[in-house]
Structure 1
């Protein structure tokens, strides 16, 4: 059986190295949080676990718990979940491998750089706490 349509179109937009990383991320999400499947495209993003958010300011919209975006030198993986007011990637940054971590973003340059066991823990925790600013 082939890839779901949105995953296939996302992978087709990436270079070979990023495809390998995206497949690692996809398989990890599928293994530990199958309830987030199937992934969906939102423009240049591939997302898992859509949710509706609303901020105290009244701004609201739709986002995904976990999403990916290709870049010129890396694949970005976003985790839109908070723990004690901090995004999960920054909370778990030390264990995520040879990656660059921003607030909600994990930037991965090469396949194997992301510690998939640690990332699986982040995915599990994201499912537990839900999306940031969720309604």
Structure 2
């Protein structure tokens, strides 16, 4: 079976954040790094060339496919911050209703700037996503 395309790399997350071109994205990434460290208690690791992940889990599907993936994290992209906190198992609508301005992808949120969201609600959402994921697949520190 094929492995995940997104694997842990040796890149230092702090170096990656420091190299973000857009000043607002870089500043927001520093805030997000501190927030994710605080909420998860995990040290960040780079997953692929552009995702900063906190914690990881091993999954095994009924089909036999298995692998490891980041438990939660973010990526400072050109147009917005991509927040990976929605494992897709649970409806977090009541929390998202209080978050602020965002768009939803399949398993992520797109936030243009952190000033558009309530960071305490984002913290709550990260914790809820991790707790939900951990109830299905044990989350391990990175």
Question: Do the aligned partners of residues 80 and 53 (structure 1) sit closer, same or farther apart at CA in structure 2, a change above 3 Å counting?
Answer: farther
Tell me what 2:63 maps to.
57
TM-score, with structure 1 as normaliser: 0.77
- Look up the SS of the partner of 2:14 in the other structure: helix
Q: Is the 8 A contact 1:78 1:106 kept in 2?
A: yes
Tell me what 2:33 maps to.
26
Question: Do the aligned partners of residues 48 and 12 (structure 1) sit closer, same or farther apart at CA in structure 2, a change above 3 Å counting?
Answer: same
- Look up the SS of the partner of 1:61 in the other structure: strand
- Look up the SS of the partner of 2:27 in the other structure: helix
Segments of 5+ residues of structure 2 without an aligned counterpart are: 1-10
Matches within 5 A, 1:1-135: 6-14=12-20, 15-34=22-41, 37-43=42-48, 44-82=50-88, 85-86=89-90, 88=92, 92-131=95-134, 134=137
Cα distance between partner residues in 1 of 2:68 and 2:136: 10
Segments of 5+ residues of structure 1 without an aligned counterpart are: none
CA offsets, 1:36-70, max 9 Å, x none? x2100112211001111122222211111112123
Query: In angstroms, what is the RMSD of aligned CA positions?
Result: 2.4
**Deviant stretches of 4+, over 4 Å:** none
Question: Do the aligned partners of residues 87 and 129 (structure 1) sit closer, same or farther apart at CA in structure 2, a change above 3 Å counting?
Answer: same
Cα distance between partner residues in 1 of 2:91 and 2:76: 21
